[in-house]
Structure 1
Amino acid sequence: MSGVQQKTSNEITLRGSAEIIAEYLYYGINSILFQRGIYPSETFNHAVKYGLTILISSDDGIKKFLDAVLDQIKEWLVQKKVNKLTMVITSVNTKEVLERWDFCVKYEGTVGSDGAPEVGNKPLKDIQKEIQDVIRQITASVTYLPLLDCICSFDLLIYTLDDTAVPEEWSETEPCIIANSQEVRLRTFSTSLHKMETIVSYKADG
């Protein structure tokens, strides 16, 4: 019986995998907002996740915005409609894009020949260890990213398949390009159903 119980505890459904991805995005985006100084440090609270202390915005507007975006992303991940979420950091005064964080999704699961739903079997602790490594890299990014010495804002762009039904309150936009940019690829992690790659692009000197 112990073998069966172990197998059950390791099973991850497509929706469960989408929850893991959305949760990573929530903590990752919050960490970026803090590390890059987009909002005052006193507006963040400590939270413990993935064995790390992560700073989370206490601003109700930011929390409401992130919840709405990530709830929608979860549905699109289950439907395999989303390819990428991009966090864009822009100068408030000049509107110039200074930094871009791309969270790229690939779908790894396969449906069985009997039509059974996709199920992953990667242990949650292994997934969380991989996510921990990525969050550590986000935290360390301040050592090489240029100082953002102006007032900045952020926005989130979601890249979906063409046939995706988009809520009315959402609008289409052009890709945000950084002129003369450099990029750093962070570690990837996989739930065995979704694979997530995180890339930061920034304006190079000169």
Structure 2
Amino acid sequence: MIEFIHFFVMSQCQIVSCDILLEFLEIAFNGILFYRNLYPKEIFGRKKIYGIAVNISQHPEVNQYIKNILETIRELIIYDEKCVKNINLVFYDSKKLIVEKYVFHLFDFKFDAKELDPYFLKTEEALRTLCLKLSMTNAYLNPLSEDCTFTIEIDTHEAAHIAISENPKCEDFPWITKSESTDELNIMRNNLLPLTTINTEYLGLQMYVITHDNESNNDI
């Protein structure tokens, strides 16, 4: 086996921009799980970020799972800042069929734009707006059944997948390649609920929800 070794050293600005993205994803994952009532409200605590109150899981297993996801995303970005295309939080019913998919489409990510937005204010304001929009999704979506489960997927290219598989920091959380099933392709042709598009100096992110329910396709 070829050991994966990466000699890229991030600058302070690059560390901050990566941390902001990962912090947002952590908040978004927790927010979706909270608002879609997958777990009892009691397992969530409150904290303030971006000037608003958000809900964060206190459940050790859920937190560890999300932590492993975020660590993998960090290592992928360090390997190649352009290699993460989509990050999907997917809900399944008891038959393992997709009922809902939250898509974070990362179409642009810049490590260094400090001359344009030195304090990340525009990026953080855009992320604050998206967090507020997440809190309103229940008004546009049908309730999930009590037996739903979820996974988080990362859409990347083959070279990055091989690299992350050989990365010692990710060896305790193995990733497998997923092939799209007929059911998943059918869902992709169903309703789409757009949330928002962020396009700042640091971050280009489009977020939307795909569902097979007969929901309104109006933007929030």
Q: Same fold (TM over 0.5)?
A: yes
Match of 1:127 among 116, 123, 136: 123
3-state SS of paired residue (2:136): helix
CA–CA distance in structure 2, aligned partners of residues 57 and 184 of structure 1? 25
- Provide the C-alpha distance between the structure 2 equivalents of 1:132 and 1:108, rounded to a whole number of angstroms: 18
Greater Cα shift, 50-59 or 189-198: 189-198
Deviations 1:33-87 (A, max 9, x none): 0000111111111111111111111100111111111011022223222111111
Q: For residue 85 of structure 1, what is the amino acid of its counterpart? A: I
CA RMSD of aligned residues (A): 2.2
Name the CA distance, whole Å, in 1 between partners of 2:17 and 2:57: 24
The Cα shift of 1:119 comes to: 3.7
Contact kept, 8 Å, 2:108 with 2:205, in 1: the verdict is no
Q: Counterparts of 2:179 and 2:211 in 1: how far apart (Å)?
A: 18
Q: TM-score, normalised by structure 1?
A: 0.82
| Distance (Å, rounded) in 2 between the aligned partners of 1:194 and 1:174 | 28
User: In 1, distance between residues paired with 2:150 and 2:34?
Assistant: 12
Deviation, 1:191, is: 4.9
Unaligned runs of 5+ in 1: 1-10, 110-116
Deviations 1:95-124 (A, max 9, x none): 121100111112354xxxxxxx84443142
The answer to whether structure 1 residue 196 and structure 2 residue 205 are counterparts is yes
TM-score using structure 2 length:
0.78
Q: Is residue 14–residue 193 contact of structure 1 (8 Å, CA) maintained in 2?
A: no
Please give the secondary structure, in 2, of the residue aligned with 1:69.
Answer: helix
Partner of 1:87: 89
What amino acid sits opposite 2:197 in the alignment?
Answer: T
1:68 aligns with 68
Equivalent residue of 2:96, what SS? coil
Whole-angstrom distance in 1 between the partners of 2:213 and 2:40: 25
Query: How many aligned residue pairs are there?
Result: 188
- 1:170 partnered with 2:168: no
Would you say the 8 A contact 1:87–1:155 is kept in 2?
A: yes
Q: SS of 1:166's equivalent?
A: helix
Q: 1:182 maps to what in 2?
A: 191
Q: Residue in 2 aligned with 1:49?
A: 49
- Looking at structure 1, the residues matched to 49 and 164 of structure 2 have their Cα atoms a distance apart, in angstroms, of 31
Instruction: Find the counterpart in structure 2 of residue 112 from structure 1.
Output: none
Moved more, 169-178 or 14-23: 169-178
Q: Secondary structure of 2:85's partner?
A: strand
The alignment partner of 1:172 has SS state of coil
Residue 97 of structure 2 is matched in structure 1 by 96
Q: Does 1:24 align with 2:29?
A: no
- Higher strand fraction: Structure 1 or Structure 2? 1
The 1:193/1:127 distance shift into structure 2, 3 A limit, reads closer
Does the CA contact (< 8 Å) of 1:14 and 1:119 recur in 2? no
| Range that drifts further, 179-188 or 50-59 | 179-188
Match of 1:201, SS? Answer: strand
Aligned equivalents of 1:49, 1:129: Cα separation in 2: 11
Provide the rounded CA distance (Å) in 2 between the counterparts of 1:138 and 1:25: 12
Query: What residue ranges of structure 2 are gaps of 5+ in the alignment?
Result: 1-10, 166-170, 216-220
Deviation at 1:16, TM superposition (A): 2.3
Question: Do the aligned residues in 2 keep the contact of 1:12 with 1:119 (CA within 8 Å)?
Answer: no
Aligned residues: percent identity? 21
Counterpart Cα distance in 2 of 1:202 and 1:66: 23
